Amino acid sequence: MSRLPHALQARLATLLGDGWRTDPSERLTYGYDNSRREAMPDAVALPRDRNDVVELVRACREHRVPIVGRGRGTNTTGAAVPVAGGVVVSFERMDRILDVRPGDRCAIVEPGVLNGDLQATLAPHGLFWPPDPTSAAFSTVGGNLACNAGGPRAVKYGASRDNVLALTAVTGAGELVTCGSATTKGATGYDLQRLLVGSEGTLALIVEATLRLVPKPSARRALRAIYRDVASAAAAVARLMAQPVTPSMLEFMDAHAVRLARDVGGADLPMQAGALLMIEADGDASELDAAVVALSNAAAGDGLMSLDAAPDEAARERLWAARKALSPSLRTLAAGKINEDVVVPVSRIPAFVDGVQAIAREADLPIVCFGHAGNGNLHVNILYAPEDASQCARADAALSKVFAVTVSLGGTLSGEHGIGLAKRDFMPQAITPATLALMHAVKATFDPDGILNPGKLLPDRT
């Protein structure tokens, strides 16, 4: 039985028609995300346009009813889970690509557009939108913006925040605001569109986005570098990022990840490999030979065991097989997995991996590290048996220690997954009290009654 006031239900049923769902079986479908957390919302709303969203927010504000925005639920931090009940607002019906302007290198889209569908629409124009999370085929642009999704290409092209020009959004006060402009330069007041990106629906609900597009490179080439140990690989990352040719991808795998990719995924990797880098360059075909030489020279150095190049696309796919085989392989070690993405300065990657493995030994649990080395964004996978209470407790304790090591090395809690429920209680470790107070003040300005995604991102005031 829905706990919502009858007057609110009647008002939103009239507004949304069959886009207003209160049946328990339908509500349950919208109560979880890829974090495997779940909670039952009181209702689900499927708005058709921005006007629906404005009226919905105003109605919920009047009754102090929580609102949780939702894309396709691929988030891993619980950011889309309605822990306070209320109304889940799914943007699946607002999935139109409103305009593509090749001359201006921008596209205007609604938040429910799938990243993969957008890329397919842009391809005939020779353009693409850079964010490429693993879930790109079935995650939405709105969801990507909400958590500032990145992916392997972020090392060269930036994450979502770097590839949005303007946003139209509905604040928690029910006001429609437009931030930014369809230009690549702008110095007209505060940069509010970048503030909204990564705010996880706690400040406003995005109803339209003007995205920065990039010309699709005509060619790409890949290298696989295998190192004796993590320190050698990290030193190579520093060299790769210091020279003029910026790699389009630079992925890292520690010794445990390499072993999994080899033994479970079937990748062709030597037994003695201590770390691996996947390096890719893209651009005009006539320039790639020189780029590959520059990247190869930077990758070379103490600890390099082998360096393999892919002369064509088929060979490139074979080289990437190790990275692609990794994630599915993790489930062969344990049914439970805590996957958190942290960021440390590139020079501190060896210290971070050493610290994580010390935590793994103490917890007596496997912890596997891999990720986007070029910007120090590593995915830490703590593996455990969910049915074992002792392992669950040790995994939770290990996560806390991983965050402590991250912050001690000058890093931060997330690079692309966001904070959600999973990391909100750790925010005081990474953010000073004065900065947290300022964030709470910003939240109160955008959402004066605290109805937008309550309980997420920011810890409770103390």
Strands, DSSP E only, in 289-361?
304-310, 336-343
The tens digit of pLDDT for each residue in 271-330 reads: 999 999 999 999 999 999 999 999 999 999 999 999 998 877 887 787 777 777 777 778
Q: Phi then psi for 146, rounded to 5 degrees?
A: -60, -35
d(CA 81, CA 420): 9
d(CA 381, CA 376): 16
* 260 and 330 Cβ atoms separated by less than 8 Å: yes
Q: Phi then psi for 140, rounded to 5 degrees?
A: -95, 160
d(CA 45, CA 29): 12
* 110 and 376 Cβ atoms separated by less than 8 Å: no
Q: Phi then psi for 241, rounded to 5 degrees?
A: -80, -10
pTM for this entry = 0.93
* Fold designation for 219-408: Vanillyl-alcohol Oxidase; Chain A, domain 3 (3.40.462)
Answer yes or no: is pLDDT of 24 > 90: yes
**Average pLDDT, whole number, for the chain?**
93
pLDDT (mean) for 60-69: 98
- H helices present in 5-137, as ranges: 6-16, 24-29, 50-62, 115-122
Q: Structure tokens of 361?
A: 């030994």
Rg, C-alpha atoms of the chain? 23
What single letter denotes the amino acid at residue 206? I
Residue 167 confidence class, pLDDT cut points 50, 70, 90:
very high
Looking at the chain, the whole-number percentage of residues with pLDDT higher than 70 is: 99
**Burial (CB count within 10 angstroms: exposed 0-12, middle 13-18, buried 19+), residue 314:** exposed
The tens digit of pLDDT for each residue in 183-211 reads: 888 889 999 999 999 999 999 999 999 99
CA quadruple 232, 233, 237, 239: dihedral sign: positive
Q: Phi then psi for 399, rounded to 5 degrees?
A: -60, -45
Residue 341 pLDDT: 92
Domain boundaries, the chain: 1-216+431-462, 219-408
The tens digit of pLDDT for each residue in 361-404 reads: 999 999 999 999 999 999 999 999 999 999 999 999 999 999 99
d(CA 187, CA 197): 18
d(CA 377, CA 143): 19
* 81 and 41 Cβ atoms separated by less than 8 Å: no
Q: Structure tokens of 223?
A: 């290298």
Residue 412 confidence class, pLDDT cut points 50, 70, 90:
very high
Nearest to 253 by CA among 409, 380, 407, 344: 380
* Fold designation for 1-216+431-462: 3.30.465
Same fold, 1-216+431-462 and 219-408: no
Cβ contacts of 149-153, under 8 Å, gap ≥ 24: 149/416, 150/372, 150/377, 150/415, 150/416, 151/372, 151/416, 152/249, 152/250, 152/251, 152/280, 152/372, 153/248, 153/249
Neighbouring-strand partners of residue 43: 87
Residue 261 confidence class, pLDDT cut points 50, 70, 90:
confident
Helix pair angle (349-363, 389-408), 10° resolution: 160
The tens digit of pLDDT for each residue in 326-350 reads: 777 787 788 888 888 999 998 898 8
Q: Phi then psi for 358, rounded to 5 degrees?
A: -65, -40
Answer yes or no: is pLDDT of 36 > 90: no
Residue 67 confidence class, pLDDT cut points 50, 70, 90:
very high
Q: Structure tokens of 250?
A: 């630079």
Q: Structure tokens of 430?
A: 């990474």
Secondary structure of residue 324 in the 3-state scheme:
helix
Q: Residue 70 belongs to what H/E stretch?
A: strand 67-70
Answer yes or no: is pLDDT of 1 > 60: no
Residue 39 pLDDT: 95
